[in-house]
Amino acid sequence: MVDTMRPGRNVLEHEGAALGRIHAKSNSRKALTYWLGFLKGILASDKVETAEFAPLKVEAENFLKLLHDPDAYELIDDLRMWQDEPTEIYEIIENIVAIRSRDISIEDEKDQINELYGFCAGIACDNRITIEEVEKLLSRLGSNSRIQSDKRVINLRNAALRSIADGRITPEESDDICEWITHLVGDSATDTGIATFGNVGVIEGALEDHNEVVFDQRMFVLTGKFTLGPRKAVQGMIADRGGEFKSSVCRNTHYLCVATEASRDWRHSHEGLKIIRAMELRDQGRGPHLVHEGTLAQALSR
């Protein structure tokens, strides 16, 4: 096993309390911009559908836990009280968005991307896309130069443009848009019963056959929160099979292994700098293989 850390260097534990304190402010902002984007996504169709009530409650409960957010707490209560009044819920959400938008301004690219991801999760939370939602989605997709180069976003934008070419959206076109949104933010709460914040999106070009993962004398980088166990334990499994590992992605990285669950300290809600760097290198034709946790687990069990 190759340890690429310099001797004597203090390395903070992944997902540890010390690292959490360092990233506390940025993590809270990431969650808040995503939550605000999600609520804007709910409003995008100019009404709240009854099918959106359940996923909205799941997301509100998650942000109550993450942010101790009083608006999320009240919204959960309002969803119970006004369960047969979607117009009332729409006005409540509209008021929350208006007030919170004054409290927090979308300042930089990171804010824009986290809010966009939340917006996408919001419009797709009921697995149904309307004309109004597509029009607002297209407006947002054109506002950030970095996100426009993402192949998943390109495919989402193309699907959205095709869907409104004739002025209406068929069920098949709606499903297509929802599928590409899943690539960005994972499955909706309607499908899983779990909040989308903390999901890992679909990594384009990831290895699907675990037999293609070779351990001996190969360089691995890990990212995310692994269900296989603590990151040190996963590194140990790789080392036992002759693999080596580093803490960052570079041209010599053979595999970037992406956990099932997003890391608390990732730059964006659904991806961190390691994934971003790996995708950049892959676009240049020299990036690492991408491996989802499930494929890694199968390779480790060989």
The structure tokens listed for 131 are 């004309």
Q: Give the number of other CB atoms < 10 A from CB of residue 67.
A: 15
pLDDT band at residue 19 using 50, 70 and 90 as cut-offs? low
pLDDT score at 13? 66
Starting at the edge strand that comes first in sequence, how are the strands of the sheet with 219-223 ordered? 244-245, 219-223, 255-258, 289-292
Long-range contacts of 98-107 (CB under 8 A, 24+ apart): 99/71, 100/32, 100/36, 100/39, 100/71, 101/36, 104/29, 104/32, 104/33, 104/36, 106/33
Q: Is the pLDDT of residue 246 over 70?
A: yes
Domains identified in the chain and CATH numbers: 17-192 (no CATH), 210-300 (3.40.50.10190)
Q: What is the pLDDT of residues 117-150, one digit of tens each?
A: 999 999 999 999 999 999 999 999 877 666 777 8
Tell me the average pLDDT of the chain: 90
Band the pLDDT of 114: cuts 50, 70, 90: very high
pLDDT band at residue 283, thresholds of 50, 70 and 90?
Answer: confident
Confidence of residue 15 (pLDDT cuts 50, 70, 90): low
Confidence of residue 24 (pLDDT cuts 50, 70, 90): confident
Specify the DSSP class assigned to residue 258. E
Query: For residue 178, which of 138, 114, 123, 115 has the smallest C-alpha distance?
Result: 123
State pLDDT tens for residues 54-85.
999 999 999 999 989 999 999 999 999 998 89
pLDDT at 2 over 70: no
Strands 255-258 and 244-245: unpaired
pTM, rounded to two decimals? 0.87
